Amino acid sequence: MIKTYYDAEVSYLKENFAYVLVIGTTDVSLIPGITIAGATPELTHFTPAADAEYVILGKCKSINTIPVSPNGIPTPALLTRASLSFINPLKLVVNAGSRIIPKIPFIDLHGEPGKDIRRQALTIQKTNEILENGIRLGEELSNNFKLIVIGESIPAGTTTAMATLLALGYDAMGKVSSASPENPKELKRKVVEEALRNLPPDLIGKIAKVSDPVLLGVAGISLGFKGKILLAGGTQMIAASAIIKEFDKNKLQDITIGTTKWVVEDRSADMLGLSRQVNVKVLASMIDLTISAFDGIRAYEKGYVKEGVGAGGASIMAFMRGITNDMLVKRIDEYYSHLVSNLKGSNIS
3-state secondary structure of 88: coil
Please choose, from the candidates 231, 326, 233, 239, the residue with its C-alpha nearest in 3D space to the C-alpha of residue 278: 239
Cβ partners under 8 Å of residue 142, min gap 6: 224, 225, 226, 227
Specify the residue, 62 or 183, whose C-beta has the smaller distance to a second copy. 62
Specify the residue, 46 or 262, whose C-beta has the smaller distance to a second copy. 46
Binding interface with a second copy (CB under 8 A): 16, 18, 56-57, 88-92, 94-95, 103-110, 133-134, 136-137, 140-141, 143-145
As measured in angstroms, the least distance from the Cβ of 313 to a second copy is 17
As measured in angstroms, the least distance from the Cβ of 108 to a second copy is 5
Distance separating alpha carbons of residues 54 and 199, to the nearest angstrom: 38
Neighbours of 170 (CB within 10 A): 18
25 contacts 113 by C-beta, under 8 angstroms: yes
Specify the residue, 222 or 275, whose C-beta has the smaller distance to a second copy. 222
Specify the residue, 104 or 173, whose C-beta has the smaller distance to a second copy. 104
198 contacts 117 by C-beta, under 8 angstroms: no
As measured in angstroms, the least distance from the Cβ of 135 to a second copy is 10
As measured in angstroms, the least distance from the Cβ of 73 to a second copy is 28
As measured in angstroms, the least distance from the Cβ of 142 to a second copy is 9
195 contacts 27 by C-beta, under 8 angstroms: no
CA distances from 147 to 71, 90, 143, 283 (A): 37, 12, 11, 16
Specify the residue, 217 or 308, whose C-beta has the smaller distance to a second copy. 217
